[in-house]
Amino acid sequence: MSDAASHQGGVTYKRVMLKISGEALMGDQGFGLHPPTVQRIAQEIKAVQELGVEICMVIGGGNIFRGLQGSAQGMERTTADYMGMLATVMNALAMQASLEALGVFTRVISAIPMDQVCEPYIRRRAVRHLEKKRVCIFAAGTGNPYFTTDTAATLRANEMSCEAIFKGTKVDGVYDKDPKKFPDAKRYEDVTYDEVLQKHLGVMDASAIALARDNDLPIIVFSLDEPGGFCGILRGEGTYTRVQG
């Protein structure tokens, strides 16, 4: 990643969006939160913040909502989506608690107003938090049903003028097929937005990829299970796939 302009102390980006799935917080459990896993990810975020990088986050709700999906069967899509958005708020509060236990000032900012537990989304205020080196966790998706947290992450990354989206997954990049099932799966170093869409590579959903493409926002796909991986990539080390124009 040395081709990108280095801002400070060898760090490639000044402000980034970290997108992780809710499932990333559940460790080896079937659903819910696994506190040691949440703490480990919080430590990774703290290490990146100490490099001088401004960080915002979007966390999915799958770890909580997948457990509820049995009860959501037969429910209209809109109601089910709102339940998923509330799950993301619970994950955001858990991550905030872990970060603040490490001394990292954090704000949870929800697209659905719930003033007792978090701030409402006001773009200028959120930008100010980032400038003050607070970690901003954007919760409740876009506030609208039918949009995924991938789309919410891409939308907020654009609104916050982030320089890249870091998508933390279970594997160290984008492969042409599932590397857990196929030992001969090939990892891409670089891939274009259009290739992701045409080959159905499953990086993010189509509307998120299109929004990133239209605003020329690179997506870095890396493994969240690799200790120090997030920090390493910001220094130009490690294994990852870069999705760009």
Which tens digits make up the pLDDT trace of 119-139?
999 999 999 999 999 999 999
| pLDDT value, residue 6 | 42
| pLDDT value, residue 49 | 96
CA–CA separation, 143 vs 140, rounded Å? 6
Ramachandran region of residue 133, left (φ > 0), alpha (ψ -120 to 50) or beta?
left
| pLDDT value, residue 8 | 45
| pLDDT value, residue 69 | 65
| pLDDT value, residue 184 | 94
| pLDDT value, residue 77 | 86
Architecture of the domain defined by 15-244: 3-Layer(aba) Sandwich (3.40)
φ, ψ of residue 155 to 5 degrees: the values are -60, -50
| 3-class SS of residue 176 | coil
CA–CA separation, 94 vs 197, rounded Å? 33
187-197 tens-digit pLDDT: 999 999 999 99
| 3-class SS of residue 169 | strand
Q: Dmax over Cα atoms in the chain, in whole Å?
A: 53
| pLDDT value, residue 30 | 82
User: Average of pLDDT values for 65-82?
Assistant: 78
Q: pLDDT tier at 115 (50, 70, 90 boundaries)?
A: very high
Q: Which residue has the higher pLDDT, 236 or 162?
A: 162
| pLDDT value, residue 5 | 40
Lowest mean pLDDT among 12-16, 22-26, 67-71, 152-156: 67-71
User: Average of pLDDT values for 56-79?
Assistant: 83
User: Average of pLDDT values for 199-212?
Assistant: 95
